[in-house]
A = this chain, B = another copy of it.
Amino acid sequence: MLRIAKLTDYATLLMVRLARDPARSFSAAQLADELRIPLPTVAKLLKRLLQAHLLTSVRGVGGGYSLAHAPRAISVAEVVSAIEGPVALTECARGAGNCSLEGGCAAGSNWKLISRAVRVALEAVSLADMAMPPLQSVHVQALQEKKP
């Protein structure tokens, strides 16, 4: 089905929520409650997003998380790779030689191009875009009708 992991989906929900009030700071419990996601899972995701430098955190009472950058400056691609690692559709597109065919494989280089195209599609959409429903951002529209 070529889907992103469920945790990644959750992560984007979290980020989108934070993007709606970029100034405010949210505790993991608040987010879990509001988005109906189990608290431990939320906590885990926020930690990963923090390590990817997409969030800033304040510890102690009254602490919480908030976006490290403006909603406009964080792309969906960044959120996805923070949770799933770099976007690469195939093993061989990821670099090292896991593929038995290696040199003789014609498809390899083309998968790299496709992976890149997908990455670009994810980079074209920011959290700010995701936060406001109607969304017909220029990038996305451009990406939509591409086939001649």
Residues of A within 8 A of B (CB): 1-4, 6, 9, 12-13, 16, 35-36, 76, 80, 84-91, 94, 100-101, 105-107, 109-110, 113-114, 116-118, 120-125, 129-135, 139-140, 142-148
Chain B contacts for A90, CB-based, 8 A: 3-4, 9
Q: Which residues of the other chain, B, contact A130 by a CB distance below 8 angstroms?
A: 106-107, 110
A/B interface sample: 9 pairs, CB < 8 A: A2-B4, A2-B87, A12-B107, A13-B101, A13-B105, A13-B107, A76-B114, A109-B135, A117-B124
Specify which chain B residues have a CB less than 8 angstroms from the CB of A12 in the assembled complex. Answer: 107
A36 to B120, CA, bound (A): 33
Told that A110-B133, A116-B144 touch, could you supply 13 new A-B pairs with CB distance under 8 A?
A: A1-B85, A3-B88, A4-B89, A9-B90, A13-B105, A76-B114, A106-B130, A109-B134, A113-B135, A117-B124, A118-B121, A124-B147, A139-B148
Bound: A33/B87 CA distance, A:
31
A146 — which chain B residues lie within 8 A by C-beta? Answer: 120-121, 124, 139, 142-143
Contacts of A122 in B (CB 8 A): 114
* Distance between Cα atoms of A36 and B99 in the complex (Å): 11
Known contacts A9-B91, A130-B110; A147 and B120 CB within 8 A of each other = yes
